[in-house]
Structure 1
Amino acid sequence: MHPPTYLELIRRGALQHGPRTAIVFGERSLSFTEVDQLSSRLAQALHAAGAAPRTRVALLLNNGLHSVPLDFACVKAGINRVPLNARLSLAEHARMLADTGCTHLVFGPDLAERAAALREAAPGLACLGLGAALEGAPDLLARAATLPATAPDFEPSPDDVVLTLFTSGTTGTLKAAQHTQASYAAICRNVLLNLLNATPEDAMLHAASLIHASGVFVLPFWLRGGRTVILPGFEPGLFLRTLQAERITAINLVPTMLQMLFEHPELAATDVSALRYVIYGASPMPRSVIQRAMAAWGRHRFWQYYGQTEVPLCLAVLRPEDHVDELLGACGQPALEVEMRLVDEAGNEVPAGTPGEIAVRAPSAVAGYHDAPALNAETFVAGGWVRTRDVGVFDARGFLHLKDRTSDMIISGGYNVYPREVEDALMTHPAVRECAVIGLPHEKWVEVVTAVVVLRAGQAIDEAALIAHVAGRLASYKKPQRVIFAEEIPKTAVGKLNRRALRERHRG
């Protein structure tokens, strides 16, 4: 017996909720039928452009009216979509295309220049505009308008990969997690079971990029007839005005966004009477921020999830009634269809009350990383278990508390920054002898990227020049906010950078 696929859930939502409003973007909206028909036409257009079932197609788009129809079109066409975060550098994008062997790139009007540069960097890449044209790159929307509004004749297998999503590794190497027809449908069930039982009266507001956690809420709302309201990005004033005007019932925010809302002058005057779910996750929530938010909006609205790109969305959930002082630092209780155990390095379960690495097994787990056999072997272990690289402990009531990330990842403003990547960029400067990058606590951003740098003898460079050097190589959110010049950098017994010792030294 196979549970329904992602494609089947798209069909069900379209059939059940036809004339209702499905998508809102600014002044424009699309009904369920319109999204269904447009996504079918786009699927036909993708096939006509040579993107056959099971090929990989990169998507380079910012949030917009066509984000959801294009995603659905890829599912209907049997295509494995590879979203590219628009904030990354040309070099990062080129590497992602090469790593995954994408044959086609679909780009939005505001990203035509980047698309042209990528075509230069990757000869043979077929570019398709979405409401945009580039010389030799047809407009997929214009082409779709001439094609039938029926989906291509394609029946997927539950194991077909539908989405290859980049997530950085502990080493700073990019990993591409592969979601299947079955695993993506299981994420939809996970959300409806554990976080919010969406109804036709619900509306969710999306300001974060739809390619990450935000996007997984689209399918549950589609299936249940709720509205998906999309903003081009996060601007606190516009967010609050839209929240009120659209009678939004659900929002999903990283801690930095939540903090910016509560510091905004329009907050007190915003009518949030319709708001039922304020969902947060993706990084540790400073206690002062969540306390202030609950004082203003009431504890009954707040839901926290702990999850990973490899096993979305919720591995554990802290429900509103559990937002009490002694549990504010907890991740919550394990999600309903997720098995969880804490293990030692050898994979054996640790005794009760002892910290261990969190290992999980769930139907929403990805089918491994694309083309990464060694990493797959250490992450996806015997019996279907996934090692998260996070260390946790259960309290006496079965609530999970995170102790530490086994990785040195820094979470700044809801973005993951991997020290290794920033260190590699710093080391390309001739004045730098060695360096280590750590996250130091910050009121607003949770952590700030901080570089500890040892210069070569006789060399001099200032903080601003080093930061600019990194900014020329990586996405701007990855550059150090601070540089600390040091005489030496502590090492572990095996000679690795001891970032933990550095964090302890500089946190005080």
Structure 2
Amino acid sequence: MADAPALCARPSNLCDDTPMPAHPNLYAALRAAFPDDLDTIAVETDDGLRYRWRDLERGSAMIANLFASLDLPRGARILVQTDKSVEALMLYLATLRAGHVHVPLNTAYQQDELAYFIEDAQPSVVVCAGRNFSAISKLAFSRGTAHVFTLNEDRSGSLLERASHMSDQHAVVEPGDDELAVILYTSGTTGRSKGAMLTHGNMLSNALTLKAYWDWQPDDVLIHALPIFHIHGLFVAIHGALLSGSKMIWLPRFDPQRVIEHLPQATVFMGVPTLYVRLLAEPGLTHEACRSMRLFISGSAPLRLDTFEAFRDRTGHTILERYGMSETVMLTSNPCKPADGERRGGTVGRPLPGVQVRVTDAKTGAPCPANEIGGIEVRGPNVFAGYWRMPEKTREEFTADGWFKTGDVGRFDAEGYLTIVGRSKDLVISGGYNVYPAEVEGYLNEMDGVAESAVIGVPHPDFGEAVVAVVVPKPGVELAEGPMIAALKDRIAGFKVPKRVFFDAELPRNAMGKVQKALLREQHQRLFAS
């Protein structure tokens, strides 16, 4: 192998045995947890490159110094749409240590979506894959962005070329605990995406909680097979490894066979339910393959009970399911240590230490008793600072007494385990990615010959849920499924594109004129049944 070049509302105290560092910058806290020997391996890639802890420190310092040379304003937004690479991780760390705001974007987003994000975030810097430079630079420069760099998964690009001339020494900027570190765009049920603003304090409090609750140790080895443009792969997984000084085995994308090959050298794996379904399809997933593993964690979408049980039977390991969202990082978790209780399939566990979770009656706002379904509301140091440039929307999403309304619906059992039973905002989670029907409906309704549409999620054995559209053509117009799907693929991310499009003369409505999506889901619920 070659070395890589340097470049139930249950309040409690926040991890009493884990003191908060005096320095509020998230990078400074992560850096303080690096092992004493910085020449040990921090990240090993699937193609044999090895990055030392010293490489992460020096590489992020050089990129931070590049930002300093650009004379960016404090808290400048750095918008990133690149392929997964360790250098992209260094870019994230550099943004933190330089006191700027990281704005990661899904690599599947298309030009219409990117135009909105650039216009809304108003980034000072955009970093994109080289193959997209021509299109993205036009969008960025026309909207006032001063600098556009490229970064490729093969460690090439103008960002690294410019950074290579910078010093590898950098003094970490000291932002206040309430200063922004990240803006995560999460779609709304009406209109365009919203930017959830997360502070250094939000993320550090949650990272420290998870380090203690999931019992991270320096000798842990994480198989990192998730994307790094959303909260699961970028924050939950990476922060856990960095904050415990643990090595990562870095896969560019999920490949079930490659994951199984690496299991004997690892102790921790995180994935969305779809990944566990695909692992179970591999004959190589056995008790013996998992002999060194300590923890399998699932999140970002509901884990089916049959998947939970099949995985336990095949491997001898019980998956730990947890619950979180872009606006809050992690909220609840099934226990990690046996002393904290059992892991219950079909639930997302109990509220994490320091996090308050309540289920309330939609009509009265009063807390629901055990086993009664209501809206899930949360409060704690992990809850975001609000939506970027949407103060009215921010106010709408919080109760008068300061609880964030998640939009999810669930129930606590008598022992305080939370079960998610639905989503009041009609969110569809397909393969771990959030799809909001209103956004897809907007693109469908713009198409010639479309009178109206309704987008729903239906059960899917691989993706958990699949996006399905029901379209009403205008009178006298004949529409075809294939061309509509093809047109959408050119405009929106692939995971948002309906897998099937059906046509009907009208949509079912109630007495108030609201589309009855429950009826549509019922009609199509067995569409993908095996």
Fold-level match, TM-score > 0.5? yes
**Aligned-residue RMSD, C-alpha:** 2.5
Q: How far apart are 1:484 and its partner, in Å?
A: 2.1
| Corresponding residue SS for 1:22 | strand
Structure-2 residue corresponding to 1:469:
487
Deviations along 1:134-176, one digit per CA (max 9) or x if unpaired, are xxx9823223222222214622111110111111123353111
TM-score, structure 2 length as denominator?
0.88
Q: How far apart are 1:236 and its partner, in Å?
A: 1.7
| Amino acid of the structure 2 residue aligned with 1:9 | A
Q: In the aligned structure 2, how far is the partner of 1:77 from the partner of 1:109? A: 24
The 3 A distance-change label for structure 1 pair 116 and 422 is same
Structure-2 residue corresponding to 1:336:
353
2:189 to 170, 174, 184: 170
Q: In the aligned structure 2, how far is the partner of 1:167 from the partner of 1:142? A: 32
Q: How far apart are 1:118 and its partner, in Å?
A: 3.2
Deviates more, 1:367-376 or 1:111-120: 111-120
Q: In the aligned structure 2, how far is the partner of 1:319 from the partner of 1:487? A: 52
Q: In the aligned structure 1, how far is the partner of 2:392 from the partner of 2:145? A: 30
| Amino acid of the structure 1 residue aligned with 2:198 | H
Q: How far apart are 1:249 and its partner, in Å?
A: 0.9
The 3 A distance-change label for structure 1 pair 235 and 176 is same
Structure-2 residue corresponding to 1:264:
282
Q: In the aligned structure 2, how far is the partner of 1:34 from the partner of 1:450? A: 46
Q: How far apart are 1:242 and its partner, in Å?
A: 3.1
| Corresponding residue SS for 1:341 | strand
Q: In the aligned structure 2, how far is the partner of 1:383 from the partner of 1:267? A: 48
Aligned-residue sequence identity (percent) comes to 29
Q: How far apart are 1:266 and its partner, in Å?
A: 3.6
Residue pairs, 1:138-149, within 5 angstroms: 139-149=158-168
The 3 A distance-change label for structure 1 pair 331 and 10 is closer
Structure-2 residue corresponding to 1:192:
211
| Amino acid of the structure 1 residue aligned with 2:74 | P
Deviates more, 1:464-473 or 1:435-444: 464-473
Q: How far apart are 1:23 and its partner, in Å?
A: 1.8
1:41 to 57, 62, 65: 62
Structure-2 residue corresponding to 1:250:
268
Q: How far apart are 1:320 and its partner, in Å?
A: 8.1
| Amino acid of the structure 2 residue aligned with 1:21 | I
Deviations along 1:65-104, one digit per CA (max 9) or x if unpaired, are 2122111111111111111111111111121111111121
| Corresponding residue SS for 2:434 | strand
In the alignment, is the contact (CA less than 8 A) between 2:303 and 2:321 conserved in 1?
no
| Corresponding residue SS for 2:67 | helix
Q: In the aligned structure 2, how far is the partner of 1:266 from the partner of 1:354? A: 42
Structure-1 residue corresponding to 2:11:
none
Whether 1:310 aligns to 2:327 is yes
Q: In the aligned structure 1, how far is the partner of 2:146 from the partner of 2:474? A: 42
| Corresponding residue SS for 2:175 | coil
Q: How far apart are 1:352 and its partner, in Å?
A: 4.2
Q: In the aligned structure 1, how far is the partner of 2:159 from the partner of 2:490? A: 33
The 3 A distance-change label for structure 1 pair 286 and 114 is farther
| Corresponding residue SS for 2:387 | coil
Whether 1:288 aligns to 2:309 is no
Residue pairs, 1:48-447, within 5 angstroms: 48-109=69-130, 111-119=132-140, 122=143, 124-130=145-151, 139-152=158-171, 154-171=173-190, 173-194=192-213, 196-212=214-230, 213-216=232-235, 217-244=237-264, 247-268=265-286, 271-299=289-317, 301-317=318-334, 319=336, 327-345=344-362, 347-447=365-465
| Corresponding residue SS for 2:118 | helix
Q: How far apart are 1:276 and its partner, in Å?
A: 1.0
Deviates more, 1:154-163 or 1:211-220: 211-220
Deviations along 1:408-459, one digit per CA (max 9) or x if unpaired, are 1111111111111111111112222221111111111111111112222211
Q: In the aligned structure 2, how far is the partner of 1:352 from the partner of 1:285? A: 22
Deviations along 1:39-70, one digit per CA (max 9) or x if unpaired, are 11110111112333211111121111212211
In the alignment, is the contact (CA less than 8 A) between 2:196 and 2:386 conserved in 1?
yes
Q: In the aligned structure 1, how far is the partner of 2:316 from the partner of 2:411? A: 28
Specify which structure has the bigger relative contact order, considering alpha-carbon pairs within 8 angstroms and separated by 6 or more residues. 2
In the alignment, is the contact (CA less than 8 A) between 2:453 and 2:471 conserved in 1?
yes
TM-score, structure 1 length as denominator?
0.92
Deviates more, 1:153-162 or 1:114-123: 114-123
Deviates more, 1:168-177 or 1:178-187: 168-177
Q: How far apart are 1:383 and its partner, in Å?
A: 4.1
In the alignment, is the contact (CA less than 8 A) between 1:131 and 1:142 conserved in 2?
no
